[in-house]
Amino acid sequence: MPKTLAVPGAYPTIADALEVAPDGAVISLAPGTYRERIRLVGRRLTVQASGEAGSATVDASGLDGSALAVTSGEVTVEGLVLTAGDYPAVAVTGARVTLRRCELSAGYGAGLQATDGATVDAAEVRVVRGQHGFVFSDAGGTVESCEIRDVTDDGIIVRLGADPTIRGTTVAGCGYRGVYVYQSGRPTIERCDVSGTGDAGIVVAHRSSPRIVQTWVHETHGVGIAFGPGCGGVVDQCRVEQTAPPGVDVDPAADPTVTLNDGGKMPMTGVGIADGGVDQDTVEMDKLLTELDSMIGLAAVKAEVRSLIDEIQVNEWRRNAGLSVGAASHHLIFTGAPGTGKTTVARIYGQLLKALGVLPNGRFKEVSRRDLVGQYIGHTAEKTTSVFEEAMGGVLFIDEAYTLSRAGGASADFGQEAIDTLVKLMEDHRDQVAVIVAGYTQEMLDFLDANSGLASRFAKTMEFENYGPDELVMISERIARNDDYVFAPGLSDALHEHFSQVERDRNFGNAREARKLLEGMRKAQSGRLRALGWMPGLDDLRTLVLEDLLTTIR
């Protein structure tokens, strides 16, 4: 078990905790703003927010350097907001850094800069301000399901032989280029969305050779994709729309292979250009359907999802064969109690749509009422539209959507404005996003009555039933196994009896109840083992017994 150092609990500042933290430790930051820098050299640590993502901010905007600077070592950062002034918010030099669910902002600097053989793995990271979004110089790693919006210069820079994989990422509203690859850069850009740039969407220069796959480049002031002399690479099954002509500009001295999925209608110059249909990743689809099948219970939901995927796949085959295909909506309603797997299924559904080539990426954006509803007239439409645009190309998941419904006709509530805005956006962009609304069954019926056109926007309603005792025991065993615990003989039977007797009222959390119970049992085991008076063996450390359950439920 890694040692956890709480800030500001046992340690007043992050620097105080770092000074004594051993390798492998976890620095846990309570919600709040920390006006200091995190500087790590040769360290192996995790720094994370103790609360929800975005609850802890490291603000170095008034300081001389980056909010996070890592040189060599291996560091994981989760759930933080990292802000700098005229420096990169995150600077990585020759280190391996993992960023998850972070927000980055800078003044005259990049959101993230990786150099000198660094490896950066970023997932669900947002850059909301800066000169550049991500800069890779002689560095690699992965950028997965990230967002770069409204930076003043280039969104992503890949140079000096850098070779990151950039997948399912949105680059929008950049002042200059969306992606700039030069000085022998070799990135893979896969299923990304590049739009609203002040100049070209993607520029390849100085003997670079990227692989650009199933990426959507649109609404750019310059050309969509440009290849300079001496450059190679592949553009495979990409969409290039509403850009300056030509959509794809290939210098006569460049030799990339370009395949678009628009039937060759987009203006292009250069050589090596072909056209084709939407590419479906059958291997990824099989993998995702296997993941869906591995979920405990939910037989009816699994069948419904498979039915939808079958229909979408056959429609695409018909379209490629020149047959007529009716308009289809990918919006869904998920009803049922909490903890029944609605969010997990929504994520898998989005990835399946990406694998089918229906949506350019499987990005998943989960929101609630507070993310959509403003505080004054006109503010709600603005907030809702902004959130919707951020989800374009992926899935917008609205949990407890019924809370948007106007309660008792109260004119001061702006939830109705959010619903009306969503209805219009869902119709205007039904081929570019999948909206999934979720909540209790009866309340969702009331929600659909809030706008006469709302129900017709959704293709299907899926009911997520409560888990039974057998399924809850299986879920408990899976959680325990994933955390390196095993059940002593008889404990599974006792859990079954407990779940059979527990009241399934409105507040019953299903899988959340199982996880909460396991957390209590682990605490009970810790107290029991501490009381032994000697160091327990490996089997004792791994085994949960009946006494742990009884202690927890008492």
**What six digits make up the tokens of 287?**
């993998």
Q: Does the pLDDT at position 276 exceed 50?
A: no
**pLDDT tens digits, one per residue of 437-488:** 888 888 888 888 877 777 878 878 888 888 888 888 998 988 888 888 999 9
Given 1.10.8.60, 1.25.40.10, 3.40.50.300, 2.40.340.10, which CATH number is that of 469-553? 1.10.8.60
* pLDDT attached to residue 72: 93
Whole-number pLDDT of residue 274: 40
In angstroms, rounded to a whole number, what is the distance separating the alpha carbons of residues 393 and 285? 18
DSSP state of 153: S
Assign 508 a pLDDT band (cuts: 50, 70, 90): confident
Domain 4-275: top CATH class = mainly beta
CA dihedral angle for residue 353, residue 356, residue 358, residue 361, rounded to 10 degrees? 60
**Cross-strand partners of 460:** 332
pLDDT tens digits for 332-378? 898 888 888 888 898 888 888 888 878 877 778 888 888 888 776 66
> What is the CATH code for 282-464?
3.40.50.300
Question: CATH 1.10.8.60 in the chain, residues?
Answer: 469-553
Inform me whether the pLDDT recorded for 548 exceeds 80.
yes
Cα 464–467–470 angle (5° rounding)? 150
The set of residues, in sequence order, having a beta carbon less than 8 Å from that of 341 and lying 6+ positions away, is 295, 297, 298, 301, 464, 511
What pLDDT does 327 receive? Answer: 62
Cα 463 to Cα 447: distance, rounded to the nearest angstrom: 15
Mean pLDDT for the stretch of residues 306-335: 78
Average pLDDT over the chain, rounded to an integer: 87
Q: Please give the Cα distance from 549 to 498 (Å, whole number).
A: 9
Task: State yes or no: pLDDT of 63 exceeds 80.
Answer: yes
| Domain limits, CATH 3.40.50.300, in the chain | 282-464
Give the global pTM: 0.52
Would you state the torsion angle of the CA atoms of residues 503, 504, 506, 510, taken in this order, to the nearest 10 degrees? 120
Confidence band of 386 (pLDDT split at 50, 70, 90)? confident
pLDDT at position 336: 84
- Provide, for the chain, the percentages of residues in helix, strand and coil under a 3-state DSSP scheme, each rounded to the nearest 5: 30, 30, 40
What value does the mean pLDDT take over residues 204-218? 93
CATH 2.160.20.10 residue window(s) in the chain: 4-275
pLDDT digits (tens, 9 = 90+) for 114-130: 999 999 999 999 999 99
Q: Count other Cβ atoms within 10 Å, centred on residue 507.
A: 9
Nearest to 147, CA basis, from 175, 185, 105: 105
pLDDT score recorded for residue 263: 44
